[in-house]
Amino acid sequence: MTNQSKAIIIGAGIGGIASSIRLAVMGFEVVVFEKNSYPGGKLSHFSKESYQFDAGPSLFTQPSLIEELFTLANEPIADYFQYEALPISCKYFYEDGTVLNAFADLELFAKELEEKLGEDGNKLKSYLKQAATTYNEIGSIFLNYSLHKFSTLTKAPIRKALKAIKTGLLFNTLNGVNEDSFTKPKTVQLFNRYATFNGSNPYKAPGMLSLIPHLDNNIGTFFPKGGMISITNALYQLAKKKGVKFHFECPVASIITENNKAKAIKVNSHIVDADIIISNMDVYFTYKELLKDATKAKSILKQERSSSAFIFYWGINATFPDLELHNIFFAEDYKAEFDSLFKTKILYNDPTVYVNITCKCEPGIHAPKGKENWFVMVNAPANVGQDWKQYQDTYRKVIIAKLNRLLKTDIEPLIEVEDVLTPETIQSRTASYMGSLYGTSSNNKMAAFLRHPNFTSYIHNLYFVGGSVHPGGGIPLCLQGAKIMAGLVKEDYDKP
């Protein structure tokens, strides 16, 4: 590439910002166009009265992926970003009154399973050991390389991965693997939960997803000081330090192609030329709206969309010492909940409830003294035209009833501030088709290979990042996708 090579990035989501840093370090002049007035996409933040809320992703794992960007940019991360490890990754509440702490310390976690659930702690150790092997030997190929390039066969440790594959990982479901690994239904339910990390159904998703618990339970979970928005802020500041230019409230109208090459974009009635274009927009909308290719957009819909979410942001006029940063209140019938999410696509009357409370880690900053900021989320079906206003009222009632039952209290009088995010508003704010949080689901044994690649073979100089393409949604995968995309750009520019 030359010093004049210009890259345009459509969308300032976390994948777009990470991509801008990598391309700037490679020597590109990088310009980012974002339709919203703020960076971060789903990883955003808002305040309401005296409460602070992270609006989207609330789980922070693999800080090494962020550290890698600062190392690459030759900038000291401590000047931008700090975080701390959590002693308890999550607290689980079951309908029969069982309460379980998932300790970061493996011995403590194993003891907790034995004492609370009657599960053999050695089964946990064996499961997490296998999860580490699966992640390091097999998952690393999915996460670090394009699955759609022949060159991957020459670079990736394919032979090593093949030796590590167990048939159950390929031909069994996640639920099947977990039932084979544990004896207690509550333990199976706990580890089935990890399918929701990419918006999937554990009763259909492949056993390969059993590698996900490695991140939580072997590497650990962390809290970014200042809340999740500090991830966006740190990477945004780093990108600007490397010379990236951001234009907000500038929705891109189209990608202009010529002779099967992406040449420019149209934004605010202006044509802006570029040597390469990277879309951080949902790949469905990229084809349908920006490339005006309805046929290609329709082909993407052959893959099942991931689940969405319904989120209540509550300012709570009380403190709950027994709650942690991350808390899960499980549904009694987990399978019925997932049938509702993916088959009938209607509201389930006893959803699993997730409560995130960032003021647990930074008292007095995210909520006034003596109060708490609750991010209350249930998994929801993708948006297919449901009456979300009606669902909002019903979800609110069933969530409050569940929390009252398991916490033995009355939540509703304590709610003094409230805001809501629905699948419909997720779609409108972040251009995530059908409000799906992770693009397509993994409810298919070939899901990893069916995800759209980080490039397109019929339009040169056009690349893709973000949750709707390889390797998937969530902060870590979006960061990995940016790395894969940058590698593809380098390959293309290194060609004679």
Q: In what order do the strands lie in the sheet with 252-258?
A: 252-258, 261-267, 270-273
Mean pLDDT of 469-495: 93
Mean pLDDT of 55-73: 97
Q: Can you say whether residue 239 is alpha, beta or left, with left for phi > 0 and alpha for psi between -120 and 50 degrees?
A: alpha
**Tokens standing for 99?**
């309460």
* pLDDT, averaged across the chain: 94
Closest by CA to 446, choosing from 214, 271, 208, 263, is 208
The pLDDT value recorded for residue 157 is: 55
Using a pLDDT cut of 90, give the percent of the chain over it: 87
- State how far the Cα of 56 lies from the Cα of 430, in Å rounded to an integer: 11
* pLDDT tens readout for residues 376-405: 999 999 999 999 999 999 999 999 999 999
pLDDT of 459 > 80? The answer is: yes
Give residue for tokens 């210009």. 6
Alpha helices (H) in 331-474, listed in sequence order: 334-339, 388-407, 423-430, 447-450
> Do the Cβ atoms of 85 and 222 come closer than 8 Å?
yes
pLDDT of 415 > 70? The answer is: yes
- State how far the Cα of 148 lies from the Cα of 144, in Å rounded to an integer: 12
- State how far the Cα of 202 lies from the Cα of 195, in Å rounded to an integer: 5
- State how far the Cα of 20 lies from the Cα of 32, in Å rounded to an integer: 8
> How big is the CA angle at 143 (ends 139 and 147), to the nearest 5 degrees?
95
Give residue for tokens 């002779």. 259
pLDDT of 168 > 70? The answer is: no
Going along the chain from its start, the domains and CATH numbers come out as 6-45+60-83+226-303+451-494 (3.50.50.60), 106-220 (no CATH), 304-430 (no CATH)
The pLDDT value recorded for residue 345 is: 95
The pLDDT value recorded for residue 493 is: 87
User: What are the DSSP E strand ranges found in 250-370?
Assistant: 252-258, 261-267, 270-273, 276-279, 308-316, 326-329, 353-356
Residue 156's pLDDT band (boundaries 50, 70, 90)? Answer: low
What distances in angstroms separate CA 30 from CA 21, 26, 77, 161, one per listed residue? 9, 10, 21, 36
The pLDDT value recorded for residue 419 is: 98
Secondary structure (3-state) at 10:
strand
**Tokens standing for 103?**
């300790």
The pTM assigned to this predicted structure is: 0.94
> How many other C-beta atoms lie within 10 A of the C-beta of residue 370?
10
The pLDDT value recorded for residue 149 is: 73
Comparing 129-138, 210-219, 407-416, 440-449, the range with the smallest average pLDDT is: 440-449
The pLDDT value recorded for residue 151 is: 66
* pLDDT tens readout for residues 21-51: 999 999 999 999 999 999 999 999 999 999 9
Type of residue numbered 394: T
